[in-house]
Structure 1
Amino acid sequence: MRYVNLAFLVLYPLSWFAPLLRAGLLPLFGMSEISVISGLRSLWQTDIFLALVVTLFALVAPMLKTLGLALLQFDVLDRRALPALNLLGKFAMADIFLIALYVTLAKGLGVGRVETAWGLYVFTALILGSIVLGALEARRTQGVSAP
């Protein structure tokens, strides 16, 4: 379980550059494939508040949770931090919600053609996998902490 979590430290940054969406005509981005990084680059120029929210949910929260969980698994961090780490994982899931909302809005408005790409599935799997690892670690902690 430790090594799966450590693999996430490499896979998260890779998923940030993977295509999340393919857009035929989307005024905000003006490109055919949108990744977390390219979307953030565009957002920083047009909507700083939303860029901060997405940066927090897509980059900071998942990495902090993964790093914290690794420190916990290698007994560097106190186990009492686990609820806070699991909360970070749930915040990271909010980013998936935002992306789904954008896809729904774009399709509903008929602004252009929007399709999900493989990177969205990878990013979602990493977030969900991190939540599962946190739950498994909590379960393991409950079994260990009984005096």
Structure 2
Amino acid sequence: MTRDALINAALLLLYPVAWAAPLMEARVMWIFGGEGVSILSGVVKLWSSDAALSVLVALLAIVFPYAKVVATQALLMGRLPEGWGRALPFIARLSFADIFLVALYVVVAKGMTGASVEPRWGLWLFTACVGASLWLSWRKP
């Protein structure tokens, strides 16, 4: 197995950890009630107030990034079906959109009166997963 395939295989394990890891600590905030916020908890809390946004965040933060990692692993192992290689750049763009959503949330929350948002280790892990996945997709197998 190549180095790229090993890095990509590690992403298959690290992404689920990053989804459950605390992205940030939000205090005095009416949406999250001062809890640590993870991707999974955010999707669940969004579901009760805006199901469509919850589905969108789940697609951009969970489904597309993981699908890209699985497809990249298949490509690196020589098992990607014909024609799927052209879809990887599109999936990569969609899977990077979630970092924008998290950053937008932090900026909006910091601008709210009485809100305090502090990044946690899960944000770094999640960003590293997305960055590593993006870097692997740019390399030629």
Structure 1-normalised TM-score? 0.88
Q: Which residue of 1 aligns with 2:38?
A: 35
Q: How many matched pairs?
A: 138
The answer to whether the aligner puts 1:26 opposite 2:29 as a matched pair is: yes
Cross-structure match for 2:112: 109
C-alpha deviation, 1:80, in angstroms:
3.9
Distance 1:3 1:79, change over 3 A: farther
State the Cα distance separating 1:111 from its structure 2 match: 3.8
Gaps (5+ residues) in structure 2? none
Give SS of 2:25's match.
strand
> Within 1, Cα distance between the matches of 2:38 and 2:30?
16
Which aligned pairs between 1:111-130 and structure 2 lie closer than 5 A? 111-130=114-133
What's the counterpart of residue 144 of structure 1?
Answer: none
Amino acid at match of 1:122: L
Give yes or no for contact 1:86–1:131 (8 Å, CA) kept in 2.
no
Superposition deviation, residue 85 in structure 1 = 1.5
Unaligned runs of 5+ in 1: 141-147
Q: What is the aligned-residue RMSD (CA, Å)?
A: 1.3
Q: Quick one: percent identity of the two aligned structures?
A: 38
Runs of 4+ in 1 over 3 A off after TM superposition: none
Structure 2 contact 68–95 (Cα < 8 Å) conserved: no
Residues 105 and 92 (structure 1 numbering): CA distance in 2 closer, same or farther, change over 3 Å?
A: same
* CA offsets 1:1-55 (integer angstroms, 9 cap, x no match): 1111011000000000111010111111224200001111101111111101100
Which of residues 63, 67, 70 in structure 1 aligns to 2:66? 63
Q: What corresponds to 2:87 in structure 1?
A: 84
Displacement after TM superposition at 1:78 (Å)? 3.7
Aligned to 2:100, which of 97, 101, 104? 97
Please give the alpha-carbon distance, in whole angstroms, between the structure 1 residues aligned to 2:37 and 2:93: 23
CA–CA separation in structure 1 for the residues paired with 2:85 and 2:133 = 12
Paired AA for residue 5 in structure 2:
R
| TM-score when normalising by structure 2 | 0.91
Give 1:96's aligned amino acid: I
Amino acid at match of 2:16: P
Give 3-state SS (helix, strand or coil) of 2:64's partner: helix
Cα displacement string for residues 82-112 of structure 1 (whole angstroms, at most 9, x for unaligned residues):
2311221221111111111111111112241
Q: 1:73 & 1:103 partners in 2: Cα distance?
A: 35
Secondary structure of the residue aligned to 1:28 is coil
Partner of 1:13: 16
